[in-house]
Amino acid sequence: MLGLPVYNQTGLFSEMVGFVLWDRRTALSPAIRESRELREREERMERILKEIALKDANVAEALRHAGLV
């Protein structure tokens, strides 16, 4: 009779751990996706600025000063 509550507690604890792990992944998914999108956007912007810098010395100097070239 005393062993039954321990099994119930173990089961509830296991369910809680499973829920926490599942919820963490679903909660982090939008943040990870947004971070990836921002990184891709930053890479495109940097590539565009470097192309412009090939034609404009002022832009090239600004990028050198910022440490991007």
8 Å CB contact between 69 and 53: yes
Give mean pLDDT, residues 6-30: 75
Q: What is the pTM of this model?
A: 0.57
**Is 60 in contact with 54 (CB distance < 8 Å)?**
yes
Has residue 23 got a pLDDT over 70? yes
Q: What is the pLDDT of residues 31-69, one digit of tens each?
A: 889 999 999 999 999 999 999 999 999 999 999 999 887
Structure tokens at 1: 């009779």
The first and second tokens of residue 47, run together, are 């590539």
Q: Band the pLDDT of 3: cuts 50, 70, 90.
A: low
Under 8 Å between Cβ of 63 and 51: no
Cα distances (angstroms) measured from residue 67 to each of 8, 41, 47, 61 = 60, 18, 14, 10
